[in-house]
Amino acid sequence: MLRNEELRRSRKLFGLGVAGIASALAYYAYNAKVEDPIHLYLGLTMIVLSVLPGLMWARQAKFGLPLFEAFMVTGINTYAIPLLSGHQALRNFSPETITLAAFGVVLFQAVANISYVSASTRPKRTRFWQEEIVTKDISRFLGYGMIATTAYTVVVNFTDLIPYDLAGILRAVAYGIGIIATFIQSWRWGANELASHEKVSFSILLVLQVIFSWATLFLVGGISILTLGLLGYVSGGKKVPVLVLVTVLPLIGLLHNGKGTMRQKYWEDREALPSFTALPAFFSEWIGYGLDSEIQSKRNDSNRLLERTSLFHIMCLVVAVTPDRQPFLNGETYTQIPGQFVPRFFWPEKPAGHISTYTLAIYYGLQRAEDTAKTTIGFGLLTEAYANYGFFGLALIGVFFGVSFKFISVWASGSPILSYGGMFMVVLMAWSFQTELTMSIWLSSLFQACVAVLGIPYFLRNFIK
């Protein structure tokens, strides 16, 4: 009976996925805002290559974590939709440049997919991958994690209680615990392992975290929490929480619409952000701006939510000037990776975490050195690869991510989710949609999160009796 239920869910999810993608392809086939027909074909190809791994995962009657699949699907909003919807920044580039940039993205996707399918290894049977860290009171353990993360969110956003010297450490620990608690509780919910009272407490704490994060007028933090929960739920049961999506997505759209007006009032006009008790009035005001038709009529088309996640126009910028006007960097940003793993305690002059991003921004004339202290521009893994080695670089990181994700997924295929290997997979899942980062910050921040997530239970288990 359990096997039949798994097959039924897999078929249903696969059918929904096929129907959704077919609808998207048909919509853009008739409504794409492209100058050259080849851009339409390349954009549609990007969509297909982005969702193909996910569709294959949905079709399998196995409930493993869709690590590579989540990583690949980000290509839809970062590259395919900006191309097909005619992102206004693309008007600055020639059709030839757009074609080359789109071809580069498709090259990466094709190589990554082929590498993932071709790579072969065996599941790991060592203690790291097979032994559960927490075998009793899982709900209490994860519940305390949600409470701790929610409390940290309140303290860091509404008080000055955390000393500057401890801010980085506490942020890594709280973020790591939050990743594990949010994903695993969502996964258990999808797998029908949560009791009713656990669902209620988890939902309240999750909503509070999102609200407190959005109270800073940065939507990305709350959206990341919700995305992680969605991935956990779908991974646990191969079910899509349709009611939640229908409720949350329009709300995010409203908040995005009113975000500019709110930032002008609270940032540029320097009006104080709300206190804890003033949050209901604060969000009512925010939603009101989002619904104001007069304000929306003055908004620029580039302010649309999906287009704000675009990395394709940055890719076009780099393709347009490299190597004709700016030589390839030949690995310069990749040589900055090892230094990021040295603790600042041992190297006080260590470069900033986003050193590779700053290097690219200065090299391509987007920022001056002094500007990087105020603003960080998202380049993304693909653009960085092209800036260093051109199309060869895109193929190279396609192989890297395809093979790496395949090996890790197979190694952890039999791992309990609360083993070290299982929790490593959860952290890696959270990093799979960090598409705007360069390789140095992607790897170093992943390492820091793993130290926090895996190091704390290791310490408690081996040194605290």
Q: Which range among 52-56, 108-112, 243-247, 308-312 shows the weakest confidence by mean pLDDT? A: 308-312
pLDDT value at 243 more than 60: yes
pLDDT tens-digit readout, 316-356: 999 999 898 899 999 999 998 888 888 777 777 777 778 88
Residue 154 has pLDDT above 90, yes or no: no
Please report the DSSP string for 321-375 in residue order. HTTTTS---TTTTGGGTGGGGS-TTT-TTPPPTTHHHHHHHHHTTS--GGGGGT-
Q: Is 9 exposed, middle or buried (0-12, 13-18, 19+ CB in 10 A)?
A: middle
Q: 279 with 245: CB under 8 angstroms? A: no
Task: Give pLDDT tens digits for 41-94.
Answer: 999 999 999 999 999 988 886 667 888 999 999 999 899 999 998 888 888 899
Looking at 5-14, 237-246, 313-322, which range is the least confident one?
Answer: 5-14
Given this model, what pLDDT does residue 303 score?
A: 46
pLDDT at 257 over 60: yes
Distance CA 211, CA 351 (A): 33
Sorted by where each begins, the domain ranges of the chain are: 2-127+377-463, 137-307
**The two structure tokens encoding residue 267:** 């940032």
SS3 419: strand
Q: Which residues are bridge partners to 132 per DSSP?
A: 419
Please state, rounded to an integer, the average pLDDT across all residues of the chain. Answer: 84
Q: Which residues are 419's β-sheet partners? A: 132
Burial of 301 (0-12, 13-18, 19+ CB in 10 A): exposed
Looking at the predicted structure, is the pLDDT value of residue 102 above 90? yes
Q: What's the rounded mean pLDDT across residues 221-245? A: 86
Q: Which amino acid is at 152?
A: Y
Highest mean pLDDT among 44-48, 218-222, 232-236, 308-312: 44-48
**Residue 220 confidence (pLDDT) above 60:** yes
C-beta of residue 69 within 8 angstroms of C-beta of residue 54: yes
Q: Please tell me the predicted confidence (pLDDT) of residue 463.
A: 58
Cα 207–Cα 213–Cα 215 angle in degrees, nearest 5: 105
How many percent of the chain have pLDDT more than 90?
A: 29
Average pLDDT, stretch 282-310?
Answer: 68
Is residue 193 a contact partner of residue 237, using CB atoms and an 8 Å limit?
Answer: no
